[in-house]
Amino acid sequence: MEWELFSSSDTSVMTIRLVIAALLGGLVGVEREYHQHPAGFRTHLLVSVGSCLIMLLAFYGFQGYMKENPDVVNFDPSRLAAYVVSGIGFLGAGTILVQGYTVRGLTTAASIWVVAGIGLTVGAGMYTAAFICTIIVILSLFLLGKINFNILNKGQNKYIFIVVDERQGRLNEIVSVLEDSDVKIKGVKTERQRGYKGNNLIEYRLLVNNLDHKSFLYITERLNKLDFVDQINMDGN
């Protein structure tokens, strides 16, 4: 029977490694779940366990065949691991969303890729490295996400708040005005508002660079000529 291919000690090792992989991957997923990202607890747990299983397959899945064909088999367990590392990209790509000039989901995609590595590491029996990596990942996701790195560019980055009519607002025209003034756009966020006339408005929050007061006045003058622009304000970091 197939079960006879593995000793009780092998079965114990595989069980322990799968459980540890589920635990470590799940811990990373808890942070993503807490912040309501598209790939959360279950996704990270499954990626870690699946990667661990592939690594176990590489170590144990072909033992019987190799014993029966010792002269014709040249087997490298790392080849299956390499396919996991490259193949996990499609899952990470599915978590990346592009909204205008803003890209979301890159951190989640990176965490999925790292969790796959953690699963492979546990499957190979490198428990210490897997635990250390998990701690680093969780601390980076919790702590580094709270740091505002824009302070490094204090005085250079500024926010422009532009409120437009939702039905007529055209972001591409606004961007063209800024680019014509050599103002670099580093990020765009949107928020819907309710106008005093009952109409729907959208506030574009543009994080820009290389914008002084003179340039802002020039940009304001040009933007006010657009019939869909309602308000323009600027706020420095």
Handedness of CA 202, 208, 213, 217 (dihedral sign): negative
Same domain for 92 and 14: yes
Do both 103 and 23 map to the same domain? yes
Residues 30 and 142 in one domain: yes
pLDDT reading at 2 higher than 70: no
Q: Of 109, 125, 146, which closes a domain? A: 146
150, amino acid identity: N
In the listed set 146, 175, 200, which residue is the last one of a domain according to the structure? 146
112 and 184 together in one domain: no
Same domain as 208, residue 132: no
Q: Are residues 202 and 129 in the same domain?
A: no
- Give alpha helix (H) positions in 144-193: 171-180
Same domain for 139 and 163? no
Tell me the mean pLDDT in the region 196-208.
75
**Domain co-membership, 16 together with 125:** yes
Phi, psi (deg, nearest 5) at residue 166: -60, -35
Q: Are 39 and 32 in contact (CB under 8 A)?
A: yes
pLDDT for 43 equals 83
Answer yes or no: pTM beyond 0.85. Answer: no
**Residue 168: CATH number of its domain:** 3.30.70.260
What are the E-state strand segments in 24-132? Answer: 97-99, 102-104
Q: pLDDT tens digits for 45-61?
A: 888 998 998 888 888 77
Q: Residue 14: in which H helix or E strand, if any?
A: helix 8-34
Neighbours of 147 (CB within 10 A): 8
pLDDT surpassing 60 at residue 12: yes
Write out the two tokens for 8.
Answer: 């009780």
Distance of CA 207 to the CA centre of its chain: 21
User: Residue 56 corresponds to which tokens in the numbers above?
Assistant: 């176990």
Q: Of the spans 49-53, 103-107, 207-211, which averages the highest pLDDT?
A: 49-53
**Least confident among 45-59, 64-78, 126-140, 142-156:** 142-156
Of 14-28, 138-152, 176-190, 218-232, highest mean pLDDT: 14-28
Confidence of residue 4 (pLDDT cuts 50, 70, 90): very low
Helix (H) or strand (E) holding 24: helix 8-34
- The verdict on 13 and 126 lying in the same domain is yes
Count structural domains, the chain: 2
Taking the alpha carbons at both ends of the chain, their separation in whole angstroms is: 69
Amino acid (one-letter) located at 161? F
In the prediction, which pLDDT does 164 show?
Answer: 83
Domain of residue 124, residue span: 2-146
Residues 86 and 186 occupy one common structural domain: no
Listed residues 146, 179, 207: the one ending a domain: 146
CA distance 11 to 82: 24
